[in-house]
Amino acid sequence: MTDLTEFKKVALDAVKKAEERILYYFRNLPKIETKIDNTPVTKADQEAEEIIVSTVKKAFPSHGFLGEEFGTDNDNAEFVWIIDPIDGTKNFIHGLNFFGTVLGLRHQGKIVLGISNMPAVGELLYASETEKTTLNDKLVHVSKIKELENSFVNFNPSKFDNPKVVNIVKAIDKKVLNMRGFGDTYGYHLVATGKADIFFEFGPKAWDISAFQIIIKQAGGKYSNFEGDEFALGGTSLATNGLLHQEMLQIINAS
Protein backbone atom coordinates (compact mmCIF):
# COMPACT_ATOMS: atom_id res chain seq x y z
CA MET A 1 0.00 0.00 0.00
CA THR A 2 1.22 3.50 -0.86
CA ASP A 3 2.39 5.57 2.11
CA LEU A 4 -0.42 8.08 2.61
CA THR A 5 1.32 10.25 5.21
CA GLU A 6 2.29 13.05 2.85
CA PHE A 7 -1.07 12.88 1.06
CA LYS A 8 -2.82 13.32 4.42
CA LYS A 9 -0.69 16.33 5.34
CA VAL A 10 -1.33 18.12 2.05
CA ALA A 11 -5.03 17.22 1.96
CA LEU A 12 -5.67 18.55 5.46
CA ASP A 13 -3.75 21.72 4.63
CA ALA A 14 -5.83 22.21 1.48
CA VAL A 15 -9.12 21.69 3.31
CA LYS A 16 -8.20 24.08 6.12
CA LYS A 17 -7.16 26.76 3.62
CA ALA A 18 -10.49 26.30 1.84
CA GLU A 19 -12.28 26.55 5.19
CA GLU A 20 -10.94 30.06 5.71
CA ARG A 21 -12.38 31.21 2.39
CA ILE A 22 -15.70 29.43 2.97
CA LEU A 23 -16.20 30.97 6.41
CA TYR A 24 -15.28 34.40 5.04
CA TYR A 25 -18.32 34.17 2.75
CA PHE A 26 -20.63 32.37 5.21
CA ARG A 27 -23.63 34.64 5.89
CA ASN A 28 -21.83 37.30 3.85
CA LEU A 29 -22.45 36.12 0.31
CA PRO A 30 -22.12 38.17 -2.86
CA LYS A 31 -24.07 37.20 -5.99
CA ILE A 32 -25.47 33.67 -6.20
CA GLU A 33 -25.47 32.06 -9.65
CA THR A 34 -27.38 29.09 -11.06
CA LYS A 35 -25.60 26.29 -12.91
CA ILE A 36 -26.89 24.44 -15.97
CA ASP A 37 -28.42 21.75 -13.75
CA ASN A 38 -30.40 24.44 -11.87
CA THR A 39 -28.36 24.07 -8.69
CA PRO A 40 -26.90 27.17 -7.02
CA VAL A 41 -23.22 28.05 -6.94
CA THR A 42 -21.42 30.80 -5.06
CA LYS A 43 -18.01 32.43 -5.10
CA ALA A 44 -17.29 30.41 -1.97
CA ASP A 45 -17.81 27.11 -3.84
CA GLN A 46 -15.63 28.17 -6.75
CA GLU A 47 -12.81 29.75 -4.78
CA ALA A 48 -12.68 26.89 -2.27
CA GLU A 49 -12.29 24.35 -5.06
CA GLU A 50 -9.56 26.45 -6.68
CA ILE A 51 -7.70 26.60 -3.37
CA ILE A 52 -7.85 22.83 -2.90
CA VAL A 53 -6.73 22.09 -6.46
CA SER A 54 -3.86 24.57 -6.40
CA THR A 55 -2.63 23.37 -3.00
CA VAL A 56 -2.67 19.69 -3.97
CA LYS A 57 -1.30 20.29 -7.47
CA LYS A 58 1.67 22.20 -6.07
CA ALA A 59 2.61 19.17 -3.97
CA PHE A 60 1.61 16.46 -6.47
CA PRO A 61 1.71 17.84 -10.03
CA SER A 62 1.04 14.44 -11.62
CA HIS A 63 -2.25 13.92 -9.77
CA GLY A 64 -5.66 14.37 -11.37
CA PHE A 65 -8.83 16.09 -10.19
CA LEU A 66 -12.59 15.71 -10.43
CA GLY A 67 -14.42 18.67 -8.92
CA GLU A 68 -18.04 19.70 -8.77
CA GLU A 69 -17.40 23.24 -9.96
CA PHE A 70 -14.62 22.90 -12.54
CA GLY A 71 -14.89 19.31 -13.74
CA THR A 72 -11.97 17.07 -14.63
CA ASP A 73 -8.25 17.65 -14.96
CA ASN A 74 -6.01 14.68 -15.80
CA ASP A 75 -8.64 12.32 -14.37
CA ASN A 76 -6.90 9.27 -15.87
CA ALA A 77 -3.98 9.76 -13.50
CA GLU A 78 -3.00 7.07 -11.00
CA PHE A 79 -4.19 9.31 -8.16
CA VAL A 80 -7.32 11.45 -8.59
CA TRP A 81 -8.70 13.87 -5.99
CA ILE A 82 -12.50 14.12 -5.97
CA ILE A 83 -13.74 17.44 -4.58
CA ASP A 84 -17.00 18.91 -3.38
CA PRO A 85 -15.96 22.30 -2.02
CA ILE A 86 -19.33 22.89 -0.35
CA ASP A 87 -21.70 19.97 -0.03
CA GLY A 88 -24.97 21.49 1.09
CA THR A 89 -24.69 24.76 -0.83
CA LYS A 90 -28.37 25.56 -0.25
CA ASN A 91 -27.86 25.28 3.51
CA PHE A 92 -24.78 27.49 3.17
CA ILE A 93 -26.73 30.10 1.22
CA HIS A 94 -29.47 30.19 3.86
CA GLY A 95 -26.98 30.62 6.69
CA LEU A 96 -27.45 27.12 8.08
CA ASN A 97 -24.47 25.30 9.59
CA PHE A 98 -25.05 21.97 7.84
CA PHE A 99 -22.58 22.12 4.96
CA GLY A 100 -19.12 20.71 4.45
CA THR A 101 -16.12 20.16 2.22
CA VAL A 102 -15.76 16.60 0.95
CA LEU A 103 -12.40 15.42 -0.40
CA GLY A 104 -11.60 11.88 -1.49
CA LEU A 105 -8.47 10.38 -3.05
CA ARG A 106 -9.06 7.64 -5.63
CA HIS A 107 -6.31 5.14 -6.41
CA GLN A 108 -6.78 2.24 -8.81
CA GLY A 109 -10.56 2.50 -8.73
CA LYS A 110 -11.16 2.86 -5.01
CA ILE A 111 -11.09 5.62 -2.42
CA VAL A 112 -8.03 5.34 -0.17
CA LEU A 113 -8.27 8.60 1.80
CA GLY A 114 -11.19 10.78 2.77
CA ILE A 115 -11.86 14.05 4.57
CA SER A 116 -15.18 15.66 5.42
CA ASN A 117 -14.95 19.05 7.08
CA MET A 118 -18.00 20.85 8.49
CA PRO A 119 -16.44 24.12 9.71
CA ALA A 120 -19.61 25.76 11.05
CA VAL A 121 -20.36 22.64 13.11
CA GLY A 122 -16.75 22.13 14.17
CA GLU A 123 -16.40 18.58 12.84
CA LEU A 124 -13.59 17.22 10.69
CA LEU A 125 -13.68 13.53 9.83
CA TYR A 126 -10.60 11.81 8.43
CA ALA A 127 -9.87 8.22 7.40
CA SER A 128 -7.57 6.31 5.09
CA GLU A 129 -6.74 2.73 4.21
CA THR A 130 -4.06 2.81 6.89
CA GLU A 131 -5.87 4.85 9.57
CA LYS A 132 -9.19 4.40 11.35
CA THR A 133 -11.76 7.19 11.25
CA THR A 134 -11.21 10.15 13.52
CA LEU A 135 -13.36 13.13 14.41
CA ASN A 136 -11.17 16.11 15.28
CA ASP A 137 -8.26 13.66 15.82
CA LYS A 138 -10.23 11.35 18.16
CA LEU A 139 -11.25 7.85 17.11
CA VAL A 140 -14.95 7.34 16.41
CA HIS A 141 -17.05 4.26 15.73
CA VAL A 142 -20.46 3.49 14.29
CA SER A 143 -23.34 2.40 16.50
CA LYS A 144 -24.01 -1.17 17.65
CA ILE A 145 -27.76 -1.24 17.04
CA LYS A 146 -28.69 -4.66 15.63
CA GLU A 147 -32.46 -4.39 15.20
CA LEU A 148 -33.96 -2.21 12.49
CA GLU A 149 -36.96 -1.43 14.70
CA ASN A 150 -34.58 0.28 17.14
CA SER A 151 -32.68 2.25 14.52
CA PHE A 152 -32.39 5.98 13.92
CA VAL A 153 -32.40 6.67 10.18
CA ASN A 154 -31.68 9.80 8.16
CA PHE A 155 -32.14 10.39 4.45
CA ASN A 156 -31.65 13.19 1.97
CA PRO A 157 -35.22 14.33 1.22
CA SER A 158 -35.26 14.72 -2.56
CA LYS A 159 -36.54 13.12 -5.78
CA PHE A 160 -40.10 12.84 -4.44
CA ASP A 161 -41.43 13.19 -7.98
CA ASN A 162 -40.19 9.62 -8.49
CA PRO A 163 -42.74 7.01 -7.25
CA LYS A 164 -39.92 4.52 -6.59
CA VAL A 165 -38.30 6.95 -4.16
CA VAL A 166 -41.59 7.52 -2.34
CA ASN A 167 -42.17 3.77 -2.05
CA ILE A 168 -38.69 3.18 -0.60
CA VAL A 169 -39.05 5.95 1.98
CA LYS A 170 -42.47 4.68 3.07
CA ALA A 171 -41.23 1.09 3.34
CA ILE A 172 -38.26 2.07 5.50
CA ASP A 173 -40.32 4.38 7.69
CA LYS A 174 -42.59 1.45 8.62
CA LYS A 175 -39.63 -0.63 9.83
CA VAL A 176 -37.53 1.78 11.89
CA LEU A 177 -37.80 3.57 15.22
CA ASN A 178 -37.25 7.08 13.91
CA MET A 179 -36.58 8.69 10.55
CA ARG A 180 -35.41 12.25 9.96
CA GLY A 181 -34.16 14.35 7.06
CA PHE A 182 -30.63 15.30 8.10
CA GLY A 183 -29.10 15.10 4.64
CA ASP A 184 -25.93 15.89 2.72
CA THR A 185 -22.63 15.72 4.59
CA TYR A 186 -24.21 15.76 8.03
CA GLY A 187 -26.10 12.53 7.42
CA TYR A 188 -22.81 10.67 6.93
CA HIS A 189 -21.24 12.36 9.96
CA LEU A 190 -24.08 11.07 12.13
CA VAL A 191 -23.50 7.47 11.00
CA ALA A 192 -19.70 7.60 11.27
CA THR A 193 -19.87 8.93 14.83
CA GLY A 194 -22.57 6.52 16.01
CA LYS A 195 -25.25 9.18 16.51
CA ALA A 196 -27.43 7.60 13.82
CA ASP A 197 -27.50 4.08 12.46
CA ILE A 198 -28.37 4.57 8.78
CA PHE A 199 -28.21 7.24 6.10
CA PHE A 200 -29.39 6.89 2.51
CA GLU A 201 -29.84 9.17 -0.46
CA PHE A 202 -30.89 9.20 -4.09
CA GLY A 203 -28.92 10.80 -6.92
CA PRO A 204 -25.57 11.71 -5.34
CA LYS A 205 -22.61 12.46 -7.58
CA ALA A 206 -19.06 11.18 -7.10
CA TRP A 207 -17.95 14.36 -5.32
CA ASP A 208 -20.85 14.15 -2.85
CA ILE A 209 -19.85 10.75 -1.50
CA SER A 210 -16.22 9.93 -2.33
CA ALA A 211 -14.77 10.48 1.14
CA PHE A 212 -17.55 8.61 2.89
CA GLN A 213 -16.70 5.28 1.31
CA ILE A 214 -13.54 5.12 3.40
CA ILE A 215 -14.79 7.16 6.38
CA ILE A 216 -17.76 4.88 7.04
CA LYS A 217 -15.73 1.71 6.45
CA GLN A 218 -12.90 2.74 8.77
CA ALA A 219 -15.42 3.70 11.47
CA GLY A 220 -16.60 0.08 11.46
CA GLY A 221 -19.62 0.56 9.21
CA LYS A 222 -20.54 -0.35 5.66
CA TYR A 223 -21.06 1.77 2.55
CA SER A 224 -22.54 0.82 -0.83
CA ASN A 225 -25.02 1.85 -3.45
CA PHE A 226 -28.49 0.28 -3.48
CA GLU A 227 -27.13 -2.65 -5.50
CA GLY A 228 -24.54 -3.43 -2.83
CA ASP A 229 -21.50 -2.14 -4.77
CA GLU A 230 -19.14 -0.67 -2.18
CA PHE A 231 -17.01 1.11 -4.80
CA ALA A 232 -19.82 2.84 -6.73
CA LEU A 233 -19.45 6.60 -6.97
CA GLY A 234 -22.90 8.01 -7.58
CA GLY A 235 -26.49 7.18 -8.34
CA THR A 236 -27.60 5.94 -4.93
CA SER A 237 -25.92 5.73 -1.54
CA LEU A 238 -26.40 3.73 1.66
CA ALA A 239 -24.24 4.15 4.77
CA THR A 240 -24.95 2.04 7.85
CA ASN A 241 -23.38 0.66 11.00
CA GLY A 242 -22.85 -2.55 9.02
CA LEU A 243 -25.16 -4.62 11.20
CA LEU A 244 -28.25 -3.28 9.42
CA HIS A 245 -26.87 -3.00 5.90
CA GLN A 246 -28.16 -6.20 4.33
CA GLU A 247 -31.65 -5.77 5.76
CA MET A 248 -31.78 -2.22 4.41
CA LEU A 249 -30.73 -3.40 0.95
CA GLN A 250 -33.48 -6.01 1.00
CA ILE A 251 -36.15 -3.44 1.89
CA ILE A 252 -34.91 -0.96 -0.70
CA ASN A 253 -34.81 -3.49 -3.51
CA ALA A 254 -38.20 -4.97 -2.63
CA SER A 255 -39.92 -1.57 -2.73
Q: Structural domain boundaries of the chain?
A: 5-139, 148-254
pLDDT at 33 over 90: no
**For the domain with range 5-139, which CATH number is right: 4.10.520.10, 3.30.70.890, 3.40.190.10, 3.30.540.10?**
3.30.540.10
pLDDT reading at 2 higher than 70: no
Q: State the DSSP string of the chain.
A: ----HHHHHHHHHHHHHHHHHHHHHTT-----EE-TTS-EE-HHHHHHHHHHHHHHHHH-TT-EEEETTTEEESTTSSEEEEEEEEETHHHHHTT-S--EEEEEEEETTEEEEEEEEETTTTEEEEEETTEEEEETTEE--------GGG-EEEE----TTSHHHHHHHHHHHTTSSEEE---HHHHHHHHHTTS-SEEEEES--HHHHHHHHHHHHHTT-EEE-TT--TT--SSEEEEE-STTHHHHHHHHHH-
| Fold that domain 148-254 belongs to in CATH | D-Maltodextrin-Binding Protein; domain 2 (3.40.190)
pLDDT tens-digit profile of 41-98?
Answer: 889 999 999 999 999 999 999 999 999 999 999 989 999 999 999 999 999 999 999 9
Q: What does the pLDDT look like over 177-222, one tens digit per residue?
A: 999 999 899 999 999 999 999 999 999 999 999 999 999 999 999 9
Q: Is the pLDDT of residue 31 over 80?
A: no
pLDDT at 36 over 90: no
